[in-house]
Amino acid sequence: MHMRNAPEVFRLIDGKDARVTLMSPDLSTVSIHPDVSGQVTIKPDGMEYFHVLIARHDTADTSTTAIQYFHSFGRPTSVSPSLLVNSAKSELEIIPDPLPREHWLYRAAHRAKFIIRFKGKPLANQVVELTTENGSRQAIKTNASGRLAITLPDDFPITHAGYRHNQPAELLLDTTYTFNGHRYRTLLSAPYIVNSAHWQSFSGGLLVAGGGMLMGGLMSWRLARRRKAVETKTRKREQS
């Protein structure tokens, strides 16, 4: 069952002294104060669709931003989610292209696309590191237009049959860029779920559909035979 009014809880890792901001679907922002353990609890603001949690920490030579998108239920807003996704949240950004729908979280063994931008401009040949809660790690480079496509690792150590019986894990994209001697680091974290191919068989589906086609052929033949018999009977009755 959807817990429509349940608060969303996040935990900041190594986020001491970070400033935390919540951006709502209408692009309004509000500062959030984590508790002593670094936990951030966000009560529903009554607005439907994607919200963004932004944690930022600045030192003299480094700016670090961690971003996580999440979905909430409520009344729809008139602001396009594209504006939320593309609005500047830090100098260096990893932008999901696009964000998965509510029922379509990032999935293991599926392609996920992102755009890397620095001060609004795409960053070509930028190295982005992907790490997952399940222990996978890989580095990918953006193309000339700053785009990145990754096949998410199918790395859940134990999978149970059915989405309901598998907990999502966390993936983290991390990239760093130095400009004028200042180091910018940005992280995007998101949940990803197990690949359904572990319990759903496409070849099985194809086989059953093929069987269905054979059955359709048989039904078609029987219906034609039946119709012919009815027509012959009617003709005979009319003749007699």
Partner 1 sequence: MNTLPWWKNLSVLRKCVQLFSFVFLVYGSVVVGFYAADKISKALPALACAYDTKTADYCVLIPLQHQLGHLLGPAIKAGTVGLMTVIPLLTTLGTFLLLFVLLNKAFCGWICPLGTFQELLGLIGQKLGLKRQESLDAGVVDRVRPVKWMMMGGLVVGLPLLSGLGFIDHSLGDPFCKICPSRIMTTLFTGNIEQLYVDTASPTYMILSVIGDGLFGIILFLGLTLRQPFCRICPMLAMHAIFKKIGLIRLVKNYTSRCDKCGLCAKACPMDIREIHTSQEKDILFPDCTLCGRCVEFCPDKGVIAMKYAVIPIKVSDPQYFKHRNKAQKAWEKANLLAWWNNRRSDTRSVNI
Please state the closest distance from residue 15 (CB atom) to partner 1, in A.
29
Of 53, 46, 51, 48, nearest to 10 (Cα)?
A: 53
Instruction: Examine residue 102 and tell whether it contacts partner 1 (CB under 8 A).
Output: yes
Nearer to partner 1, 87 or 176 (CB): 87
Candidates 29, 210, 232, 235: give the one binding partner 1 (CB under 8 A): 210
Total interface residues for partner 1 by CB under 8 A: 45
Q: What's the CA dihedral at 9, 13, 18, 19 to 10 degrees?
A: -20
Burial 64-81 (b: 16+ CB within 10 A, else e): bbbbbbebbeeeebebee
For residue 211, state whether it binds partner 1 (rule: CB under 8 A): yes
149 forms part of the interface with partner 1 (CB under 8 A): no
**Site for partner 1 contains 167 (CB under 8 A):** no
First to last CA, the chain: 67
Tokens of 82: 């594209």
Min dist. Cβ of residue 33 to partner 1 (A): 30
The answer to whether 61 touches 90, Cβ cutoff 8 Å, is no
> Which positions ≥6 away from 238 have C-beta within 8 Å?
none
Our finding on whether 9 is near partner 1 (CB under 8 A) is no
Rounded distance between C-alpha atoms, residue 94 and residue 174, angstroms: 8
Interacting positions 10-29 with partner 1 (CB under 8 A): none
User: Least distance from C-beta 191 to partner 1, angstroms?
Assistant: 17
Minimum CB separation from partner 1 for residue 2, in Å?
A: 7
Contact by Cβ (8 Å): 148, 128 = yes
Q: Name the site residues for partner 1 (rule: CB under 8 A).
A: 1-2, 48-49, 76, 80-82, 85, 98-99, 101-104, 161-162, 164-165, 196, 199-202, 204-217, 219-220, 223-224, 226-227, 230
